[in-house]
Amino acid sequence: MRLSRFPLATAKETPADAEVVSHQLMQRAGYIRKLGSGLYTWMPIGLRVLRNIERIVREEMNRAGAVELLMPSIQPAELWQQSGRWTQMGAEMLRMQDRHGNDFCYGPTHEEVIVHHVKQDVRSYKQLPVNYYQVQTKFRDERRPRFGVMRAREFLMKDAYSFDTDEAGLVAAYGRMREAYIRIFDRLGIDYRIVQADAGNIGGNQSEEFHVLAGSGEDLLAVSDSGPYAANVEAAVCAAPGPRVAATRSLTDVATPGQRTCEQVATFLKVPLSGKVKLLVVRTAEGVLRALALRGDHQLNEVKAARHPAIGAGFTLADPDEVATLFGCEVGYLGPVNCPLPVIADHAAAAVADFVCGANRKDFHLQGVNWGRDCPEPETADLRNVVEGDPSPDGVGQIRFYRGIEGGHIFQLGRKYTEAMGLTVLDEQGQALVPWMGCYGIGVSRLAAAIIEQRHDERGMIWPLSVAPFPLIICPIGLDKSEAVKTAAESLYSGLQAAGVDVLIDDRGLRPGGMFADAELVGIPLRVTIGDKALADNQFEFKRRDAADAERIPATVDAVLAQFRG
Ligand code: ATP
Ligand code: MG
């Protein structure tokens, strides 16, 4: 490709509205252009990267035995009514009507559509297992679109759906996808972690996320410093603490005028935050109030709380006025002694002895409180977020936090969708069998940004050869002045093209500084500079984007190809 014929619009200035480096660089390098909130056009140079990521994803999906199809982005509401998600999905799903008043959505995901098709076409166990995938545009009306294509509203996803006759088949299909994902992430040249995840509103049991490690990542990951344990904090299990130590103090009232928060009370009474037990009152989706006890230094994990059978998805914090009426005091002073609600305590809160808590009386707290003696032994559960320094739940090492960008997510869905939508196939005995399903997503467009978050320097992007928009650029110096440079550049250009290299030549007639700055900003991995001085010695100057210095190589196509392959 000749740069004189390829529209490239680079900029020196960092755009004001771009918060993270990948968004800044993608704008500056002319990879993407914003059309509206969370809506981006991929410009020609950026599209090349997107297509390369897609190609790697397709190659590995095909290698793993998945087969490609393409489903519409607009989906009829009936399918979502069958699965029950038409009402569950909330504002993220963009809904619309056609001219006949029929309801549709712009697909945020495709479980319903694929189950519909498999229901039509797959009749017998002999047609299973099968794994369909597509690379398709999704729309999710995100609450906070940001970071460019990282959290967009319209984005490109690879989604795959496996169907098996039994659970063992699903587990095997999941394993094959996991292996394919490992190959994909390795080929993309990124540092990533596979972590245990929460399945969210997709549902199902086992699920893992592939996270690109980056300080700008929106997800917090809990990773053991010396063992294999790694989980999204949303899903990270807290190791149960050791047995509670014996009570040593007696229960006393203490005046704490105006001290409402745990921090205030701990400072006021000169006790550690971990010696305070706080009470949160929640309203379950069924409308019942529950009291949850947590240690003062711990935070409620809403995902775990939503999984607790007595709390459930859709719970909210109870209205403070209503709580005040029930407890007879304002919410800053709640505690488990004489509590009008049964208490579910986090394991760590249940393990503290001689603790401080609200007295259920304004401006008073209790000290030296002990479960079982001063208030009933609570039901216990894992309700809190892990914190750094917690022991890893598998007993190996301590938890450290990392930030990650979710690049992929794999789920064992089980029979949730197949059952809800009435998909059955005939088994060997001619009996109806409900297939087991898995689903596997990769954020193709998000990954382009995630790779940049990890691979860049102050001058621009640093692509691995596998996804670079062009692997190599020829920068001829003084093209319009030197016949020798022109001849050498053209013959290298046609020689590399003949060898199948997707080479770019900067024939715009810029000065070296301008050519180099653009090549570095857009992240071309290899650069061959051709100038009169080196040519006089029959040499080119060769530089890798990630190396500090350039080197001299013989001025031949073969010498360049050797570098390319090496
Ligand atoms: P997140 O927690 O980041 O919102 P999700 O759990 O909603 O992600 P999935 O439904 O598992 O995501 O979608 C599969 C993949 O699609 C994700 O792993 C992610 O890489 C990508 N993805 C999801 N939402 C977006 C978005 N708004 N913009 C770009 N990519 C996205
Ligand atoms: Mg999401």
What value does the mean pLDDT take over residues 419-446? Answer: 97
Q: Is 142 in the pocket of ligand 1 (CB under 6 A)?
A: yes
Question: Among 345, 411, 368, 469, which residue's Cα sits nearest to residue 177?
Answer: 411
Omega cis (within 30) before 435: no
Positive or negative CA dihedral for 375, 381, 387, 391?
A: positive
Q: Whose CA is nearest to atom 25 of ligand 1?
A: 151
Distances (CA, A) of 397 to 239, 241, 389, 403: 12, 15, 9, 19
Location of structure tokens 């914090």: 317
Residue 202 CA: nearest ligand 1 atom is 10
Q: Per-residue confidence at 200, pLDDT binned at 50, 70, 90? A: low
pLDDT digits (tens, 9 = 90+) for 209-223: 999 999 999 999 999
Rounded to whole angstroms, the Cα distance separating 492 from 156 reads 36
Q: Whose CA is nearest to atom 19 of ligand 1?
A: 443
Residue 142 CA: nearest ligand 1 atom is 27
Least reliable range by pLDDT among 125-134, 170-179, 230-239: 230-239
Specify the pLDDT at position 313: 86
Positive or negative CA dihedral for 250, 256, 261, 267?
A: negative
pLDDT digits (tens, 9 = 90+) for 355-393: 999 999 999 999 999 999 999 999 999 999 999 999 999
**Beta strand pairing call for 504-505 and 472-476:** parallel
Residue 359 Cα, ligand 1 centroid: separation in angstroms? Answer: 44
* Nearest ligand atom owner, CA of 142: 1
Query: By three-state DSSP, how is residue 107 classified?
Result: coil
Positive or negative CA dihedral for 127, 129, 132, 138?
A: positive
Residue 152 CA: nearest ligand 1 atom is 28
Query: In degrees rounded to 5, what are phi and psi of residue 243?
Result: -65, 150
Specify the pLDDT at position 124: 96
Specify the pLDDT at position 203: 54
DSSP per-residue string spanning 346-393: EHHHHT--SEEEE-SSTTEEEEEE-BTTTBPPPEEE--B---TTPBPT
Q: Kindly provide the b/e burial profile for residues 409-433, where b requires at least 16 CB atoms within 10 angstroms of the residue's own CB.
A: bbbbbbbbbbebbebebeeeeeeeb
Specify the pLDDT at position 159: 98
* Nearest ligand atom owner, CA of 137: 1
Residue 89 Cα, ligand 2 centroid: separation in angstroms? Answer: 11
- Give the global pTM: 0.92
What value does the mean pLDDT take over residues 231-236? Answer: 93
Query: By three-state DSSP, how is residue 342 classified?
Result: coil
Residue 408 Cα, ligand 2 centroid: separation in angstroms? Answer: 12
Residues 6+ apart with CB under 8 A from 16: none
SS3 content of the chain, % helix, strand, coil (to 5): 30, 30, 40
Specify the pLDDT at position 565: 82
Location of structure tokens 């977020």: 385
Q: Is 409 in the pocket of ligand 1 (CB under 6 A)?
A: yes
Task: Fill in the DSSP letter of residue 276.
Answer: B
Question: Among 280, 260, 293, 262, which residue's Cα sits nearest to residue 376?
Answer: 293
Residue 159 CA: nearest ligand 1 atom is 14
Residue 92 Cα, ligand 2 centroid: separation in angstroms? Answer: 8
Q: How many CA atoms lie within 13 A of 467 on its CB side?
A: 29
Specify the pLDDT at position 242: 86
Q: Is 67 a residue whose pLDDT tops 70?
A: yes
Q: Is 422 in the pocket of ligand 1 (CB under 6 A)?
A: no
Distances (CA, A) of 70 to 35, 73, 158, 387, 477: 25, 9, 11, 43, 47
Rounded to whole angstroms, the Cα distance separating 283 from 413 reads 28
What value does the mean pLDDT take over residues 334-362? Answer: 96
Terminal Cα-to-Cα distance of the chain (whole angstroms)? 23
Specify the pLDDT at position 16: 87
Residue 153 CA: nearest ligand 1 atom is 27
pLDDT digits (tens, 9 = 90+) for 129-159: 999 999 999 999 999 999 999 999 999 999 9
Residue 200 CA: nearest ligand 1 atom is 6
Using most ligand atoms within 8 A of CB, pick from 135, 209, 446, 453 the residue to mutate for ligand 1. Answer: 446
Specify the pLDDT at position 314: 86
pLDDT digits (tens, 9 = 90+) for 464-516: 999 999 999 999 999 989 999 999 999 999 999 999 999 999 999 999 999 99
Q: Is 443 in the pocket of ligand 1 (CB under 6 A)?
A: yes
Specify the pLDDT at position 70: 98
Q: Is 204 in the pocket of ligand 1 (CB under 6 A)?
A: no
Residue length, the chain? Answer: 566
